[in-house]
């Protein structure tokens, strides 16, 4: 990989815990949970402070997915402005502070998530989250939604670093390191996401990918060539079964 990879929460014992249990690795925003409302409300608080017009929910749904910094930059770009450097750092900190105080005002799990997790867990599957959301609010959101305990690992854009820089999707190492942290194996893992970023990450990591079509993207996910597209979590069981039966793989 090159460079020095770090993760404060990572323990080498995770490798010793590896087993052949199949692992489903989920994106968070737009995949497990409908979060656009709280993200949009927080973005609009930041934009209002800067004298900019608010972003509509429909507009925001096309901006979400690359993390809060990118969301802020896209919000500014919608008004013909750019933002970088220390100013972006400050607004990013302000965004996180406000967002964490309103983490689940209107956010909720997509229909069928809990039932799908129940079914897969009963069949011996394990779960992890690999998101470009920052780790702390990711864990806080999943706790507020009542499912944080179901994941062996919850990894955000700041979970892994190389030479002081975050390793985030679409870098395939983020997905592979999430699998490792969860005690899983790439050969027994499947990614579930809602965007080009998720699909590109899985492809580069050699991991099959199921795409949901109700998430946050400016184009339909079928254009990005996932292994399977589903429109409801009720369909995830059959999608995963098909991938495992056919041996679909990006390796």
Whether 198 is a known active-site residue: answer no
List C-alpha distances in Å: 143 to 48, 57, 101, 108, 140: 29, 24, 14, 12, 5
Residue in the structure block whose two tokens are 């994941």: 151
> Is 139 exposed, middle or buried (CB count within 10 Å of its CB: 0-12, 13-18, 19+)?
middle
**Active-site residue, from 27, 29, 171, 194:** 27
130 strand-pairing partners? 155
> Is 199 exposed, middle or buried (CB count within 10 Å of its CB: 0-12, 13-18, 19+)?
buried
Q: Which are the catalytic amino acids?
A: 27
């Amino acid at each position: 990989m090159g460079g020095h990879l770090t993760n404060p929460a990572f323990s080498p014992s995770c490798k010793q815990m590896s087993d052949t249990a199949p692992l489903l690795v989920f994106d968070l925003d737009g995949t497990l949970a409908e979060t656009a409302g709280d993200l949009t409300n927080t973005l609009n608080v930041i934009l209002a402070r800067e004298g900019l017009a608010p972003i509509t929910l429909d507009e925001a749904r096309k901006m979400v997915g690359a993390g809060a910094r990118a969301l802020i930059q896209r919000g500014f770009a919608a008004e013909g402005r750019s933002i970088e450097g220390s100013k972006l750092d400050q607004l990013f900190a302000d965004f996180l502070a406000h967002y964490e105080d309103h983490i689940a005002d209107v956010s909720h799990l997509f229909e069928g998530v809990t039932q799908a997790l129940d079914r897969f867990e009963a069949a011996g599957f394990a779960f992890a989250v690999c998101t470009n959301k920052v780790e702390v609010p990711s864990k806080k959101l999943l706790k507020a939604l009542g499912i944080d305990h179901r994941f062996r690992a919850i990894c955000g854009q700041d979970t892994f670093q190389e030479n002081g820089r975050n390793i985030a999707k679409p870098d395939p190492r983020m997905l592979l390191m999430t699998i490792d942290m969860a005690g899983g194996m790439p050969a027994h893992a499947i990614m579930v996401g809602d965007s080009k970023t998720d699909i590109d990450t899985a492809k580069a990591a050699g991991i099959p990918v199921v795409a949901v079509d109700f998430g946050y993207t400016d184009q339909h996910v079928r254009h990005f060539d996932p292994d399977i597209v589903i429109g409801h979590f009720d369909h995830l069981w059959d999608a995963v079964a098909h991938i495992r039966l056919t041996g679909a793989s990006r390796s």
